[in-house]
Copies of this chain bind each other. A is one copy, B any other.
Amino acid sequence: MATEIAPHESYLPSPQLTPREGDLFNIDAGLTEEERAVRDSVRRFVDEKVLPIIGKHYVEGTFPKHLIAEMGELGVFGANLPEEYGCAGLNNVQYGLIMQELERGDSGIRSFASVQGALVMYPIYAFGSEEQKRHWLPKMATGEVIGCFGLTEPDYGSNPAGMITVAREQADGSWVLNGAKMWITNGSQAHVSVVWAKTVRHGETEVGDERTIRGFVVPTDTPGFRARDQKGKLSLRASDTSELILEDVKLPADAILPKSGGLKSPLMCLTQARYGISWGALGAAIACFEEAVSYSKNRVMFDKPIGAFQIQQVRLADMLTEIVKGQLLSLHLGRCKDLGTFTPQMVSLAKRNNVNIATDIAREARRLLGGNGILAEYASMRHMANLESVYTYEGTHDVHSLILGQAITGHSAFK
C-alpha cells in the first residue's frame, strides 16, 4: 500500500481536545484555535447585544440599526476580504463561523452582513477598479456606508437570465438605467447599490442576452432611484426588504464595474453569499437546538423533565445529528474554498441542505416548547419563520435540487 505522505497533514483534529460541553461530536476539533477565537468573539456580541433586543425588533418589524457600527468594529463585514481595504482578512472558515454566530441571533442580522459583504463588497472587490475599491470598501467594512444588491426582478426570481433592467450607454460614455428590482435586503437604508442590468452600447437599439449583463455602483441618492419597503412580511421581520425602482437613473461612465461581464458575475456573488448562508442557517439551527435542550431539561411534565421522555429524546437526537452533519459540510466547503478547490455545485449542496435541516430543526424545537414555542420571547418560532425566507432566497431549494441533478446526471431539467 502507498506510503507517501500528503503535502498537508490533512484533516487532523487538534489532539488535545476532548469535546467541549454541548459539542457532542467534537466539531471544535476541526477548528484552529484562531478560528474558535473569532467565533467566540462574535458569539459574545450576539449573546450580549442581539439576543436581548431582537425579539422586540422582530415583533415591531424593525432592523436594529444601532448594531451596525459595532458589527463593523468586530470586523464582520467582508471579513474574508484583504486588510488593505480595511477588511479583516480572515479565512473562509472564520468568515463562515461569523455568519453562523450572527444568524444564531437572527437571520435578518446575518442577511444584513451577507448583503454588505458578499453581495456588495465582494463584487466591488472582484469586479471593481482600484479606485472603486479604495473608495467604497473601507467605509463599508466599518458600516459607515451600507450597501444593497439589485439583481432579482419581480417576474424572474429564479431565472436571472430573464432580466429586464437595462443600462443604455450614452454618447458620452455615461449610462442611463431603467428597471425594477425586488426582495432587496437593506434596500431602503442603503447608501449604495450594486445594480445589475443588461447593457446596450451606444449605437445599438436591441437589448441583448445575458452576456451583456454588467454591474453598476449606484449611490442611492442618485435622481430616479427609489426604494420602497415591502410590507406585510411574516418572516425576516427584523430586516428591511424593499423594491427598487430605477427611472432614468443617470450614472457616470465609471459607475460600471469594469471587470464584471455577463450573468456569471452576479452568479459569482451569489456563490459567495450562499456559502455564508450555509453557515448562517446552522447558527439558526443551533439557537433552536440549544433552546430546546435547555427547555427540555427545565420543563417538568408528569413529574419529569420532558427531556427524560423518549419522544423528546428522539427529537433532540435528530436535531443534533443534522446540525453536526451540516457543520461538517460547511467546514469541508470552507477548507476547499480556501484552497480554491470548491465548486458552485458544492455550495448548492451545502446551502440547500443546511437551510432545509434548519427549517426542520426550528419547527421541531418550537414544538418541543409547547405553547411557549409561539412566543417571541423564545427564539425558535422566529427562526422557523425567518428560515422560510432563507429557504427561498439565493436559489430556492428546488433550484439547487436541479443544479445538483444536472451535476449528477449531466442533464439540465430546469425547463
A interface, CB within 8 angstroms of B? 1-19, 24-27, 29-34, 36-38, 41, 55, 59, 75, 88, 90, 94, 152, 155-159, 182-183, 230, 232-236, 293, 296-297, 300-305, 307-314, 316-317, 320-321, 324-326, 328-329, 331-333, 335-336, 338-343, 345-346, 349, 352-353, 359, 363, 366-367, 370-371, 373-377, 381-382, 384-385, 388-389, 391-393, 396-398, 400-402, 404-415
Contact = CB atoms under 8 A, between A and B. Distances in A.
B409 A308 contact: yes
25 contacts: A1-B34, A1-B94, A2-B33, A3-B34, A4-B34, A8-B15, A9-B9, A10-B11, A12-B338, A19-B343, A26-B332, A29-B339, A29-B341, A30-B332, A297-B409, A303-B415, A308-B409, A308-B411, A309-B413, A311-B314, A317-B408, A324-B349, A325-B329, A374-B388, A374-B389
A153 B230 CA distance: 39
Contacts of A1: 34, 37-38, 41, 75, 88, 90, 94
A12 B12 CA distance: 8
Given A25-B346, A26-B332, A308-B412, 16 more contacts: A1-B34, A1-B88, A12-B338, A19-B343, A25-B349, A155-B300, A157-B301, A158-B301, A234-B375, A302-B414, A307-B411, A309-B413, A311-B402, A316-B408, A370-B396, A371-B389
B404 A388 contact: no
B13 A8 contact: yes
A21 to B, nearest CB: 11
B10 A304 contact: no
Contacts of A385: 234, 381, 385
Contact of A374 (B233, B377, B404): B233
A314 B38 contact: no
Given A15-B7, A308-B411, A415-B302, A314 B233 contact: no
Given A8-B12, A313-B413, A382-B234, A38 B2 contact: yes
Contact of A6 (B33, B159, B232, B397): B33
A159 B392 contact: no
Given A8-B13, A31-B10, A411 B305 contact: yes
Nearest to A359: B363
Given A157-B371, A335-B11, A392-B367, A24 B345 contact: yes
A341 B13 contact: yes
Given A311-B311, A405-B310, A158 B370 contact: yes
A287 B17 CA distance: 35
Contact of A183 (B5, B156, B300, B371): B371
Residue of A317, A397, A411 with most partner-chain B CB within 10 A? A317
A307 to B, nearest CB: 3
